[in-house]
Amino acid sequence: KNQVEQSPQSLIILEGKNCTLQCNYTVSPFSNLRWYKQDTGRGPVSLTIMTFSENTKSNGRYTATLDADTKQSSLHITASQLSDSASYICVVNTNAGKSTFGDGTTLTVKP
Protein backbone atom coordinates (compact mmCIF):
# COMPACT_ATOMS: atom_id res chain seq x y z
CA LYS A 1 0.00 0.00 0.00
CA ASN A 2 1.33 3.42 -0.96
CA GLN A 3 2.01 5.53 2.11
CA VAL A 4 3.60 8.88 2.93
CA GLU A 5 4.57 9.62 6.51
CA GLN A 6 5.66 13.03 7.71
CA SER A 7 7.39 14.08 10.88
CA PRO A 8 7.13 15.86 13.14
CA GLN A 9 3.37 16.27 13.22
CA SER A 10 3.80 19.80 14.52
CA LEU A 11 6.69 22.11 15.22
CA ILE A 12 7.11 25.45 16.95
CA ILE A 13 10.19 27.58 16.30
CA LEU A 14 11.27 31.15 16.89
CA GLU A 15 11.43 33.62 14.05
CA GLY A 16 14.81 33.57 12.35
CA LYS A 17 15.58 29.96 13.24
CA ASN A 18 16.00 27.11 10.78
CA CYS A 19 14.00 23.90 10.73
CA THR A 20 13.83 20.62 8.82
CA LEU A 21 10.73 18.63 8.03
CA GLN A 22 10.87 14.95 7.14
CA CYS A 23 8.97 12.78 4.68
CA ASN A 24 9.28 9.00 4.31
CA TYR A 25 7.38 7.20 1.59
CA THR A 26 6.57 3.78 0.26
CA VAL A 27 5.11 4.68 -3.12
CA SER A 28 5.71 2.68 -6.26
CA PRO A 29 6.38 3.21 -9.06
CA PHE A 30 7.88 6.54 -8.06
CA SER A 31 7.57 9.46 -10.45
CA ASN A 32 8.13 12.61 -8.42
CA LEU A 33 7.78 14.14 -4.99
CA ARG A 34 6.35 17.57 -4.26
CA TRP A 35 6.34 19.72 -1.17
CA TYR A 36 3.30 21.95 -0.76
CA LYS A 37 2.61 24.80 1.65
CA GLN A 38 -0.96 25.16 2.86
CA ASP A 39 -1.87 28.32 4.69
CA THR A 40 -4.83 28.12 7.04
CA GLY A 41 -8.08 28.29 5.11
CA ARG A 42 -6.42 28.05 1.70
CA GLY A 43 -5.51 25.44 -0.85
CA PRO A 44 -1.98 24.01 -1.04
CA VAL A 45 0.65 25.72 -3.16
CA SER A 46 3.59 23.85 -4.65
CA LEU A 47 7.05 24.74 -3.31
CA THR A 48 9.31 22.24 -5.04
CA ILE A 49 9.22 19.14 -7.22
CA MET A 50 11.85 16.41 -7.03
CA THR A 51 12.28 13.75 -9.68
CA PHE A 52 14.17 10.49 -9.28
CA SER A 53 17.53 11.87 -10.40
CA GLU A 54 17.46 15.02 -8.27
CA ASN A 55 19.07 15.12 -4.84
CA THR A 56 18.47 18.70 -3.83
CA LYS A 57 16.50 21.68 -5.05
CA SER A 58 16.10 25.16 -3.64
CA ASN A 59 13.32 27.71 -3.86
CA GLY A 60 14.36 30.81 -1.97
CA ARG A 61 14.62 29.91 1.71
CA TYR A 62 13.22 26.44 1.05
CA THR A 63 15.57 23.57 0.21
CA ALA A 64 14.27 20.09 -0.52
CA THR A 65 16.34 16.93 -0.60
CA LEU A 66 15.54 13.50 -1.93
CA ASP A 67 17.19 10.15 -1.27
CA ALA A 68 15.46 7.76 -3.64
CA ASP A 69 17.34 4.78 -2.24
CA THR A 70 16.05 5.21 1.30
CA LYS A 71 12.81 6.81 0.08
CA GLN A 72 13.23 9.86 2.23
CA SER A 73 12.84 13.56 1.58
CA SER A 74 13.35 16.62 3.71
CA LEU A 75 12.34 20.25 3.49
CA HIS A 76 14.70 22.71 5.13
CA ILE A 77 13.50 26.22 5.90
CA THR A 78 16.17 28.81 6.52
CA ALA A 79 15.80 32.00 8.55
CA SER A 80 12.12 31.38 9.25
CA GLN A 81 9.58 34.17 9.04
CA LEU A 82 6.18 34.55 10.67
CA SER A 83 4.58 33.99 7.27
CA ASP A 84 6.13 30.52 7.14
CA SER A 85 3.52 29.40 9.68
CA ALA A 86 1.50 26.85 7.71
CA SER A 87 1.03 23.17 7.06
CA TYR A 88 3.71 21.59 4.85
CA ILE A 89 2.56 18.62 2.87
CA CYS A 90 4.68 15.98 1.15
CA VAL A 91 3.05 14.41 -1.92
CA VAL A 92 4.46 11.48 -3.85
CA ASN A 93 3.22 10.76 -7.37
CA THR A 94 3.35 7.55 -9.37
CA ASN A 95 3.93 7.17 -13.08
CA ALA A 96 0.18 6.65 -13.47
CA GLY A 97 -0.47 10.08 -12.03
CA LYS A 98 -1.79 8.86 -8.68
CA SER A 99 -0.89 11.12 -5.76
CA THR A 100 -0.39 10.01 -2.17
CA PHE A 101 -0.49 12.81 0.38
CA GLY A 102 1.17 12.92 3.76
CA ASP A 103 -0.83 14.30 6.68
CA GLY A 104 1.45 17.33 6.82
CA THR A 105 3.61 19.04 9.40
CA THR A 106 2.09 22.09 11.07
CA LEU A 107 4.76 24.72 11.52
CA THR A 108 4.27 27.66 13.87
CA VAL A 109 6.80 30.46 13.80
CA LYS A 110 6.70 32.68 16.86
CA PRO A 111 8.17 36.16 17.21
Partner 1 sequence: NAGVMQNPRHLVRRRGQEARLRCSPMKGHSHVYWYRQLPEEGLKFMVYLQKENIIDESGMPKERFSAEFPKEGPSILRIQQVVRGDSAAYFCASLTGGRNNEQFFGPGTRLTVL
Residues that bind partner 1 (CB under 8 A): 31-32, 34, 41-46, 49, 51, 89, 93-104
Supply the minimum distance, in Å, between the C-beta of residue 16 and partner 1: 28
Give phi and psi for 68, each to the nearest 5.
-70, -20
- Find the distance separating the first CA and the last CA of the chain, reported in whole Å: 41
Nearer to partner 1 by Cβ, of 31 and 74: the residue is 31
Cα distance between residue 85 and residue 47, in whole Å: 14
DSSP 8-state symbol, 82: G
Amino acid making up residue 8: P
Nearer to partner 1 by Cβ, of 2 and 18: the residue is 2
Supply the minimum distance, in Å, between the C-beta of residue 111 and partner 1: 25
Nearer to partner 1 by Cβ, of 28 and 46: the residue is 46
- Cβ proximity of 100 and 89 under 8 Å: no
Supply the minimum distance, in Å, between the C-beta of residue 79 and partner 1: 25
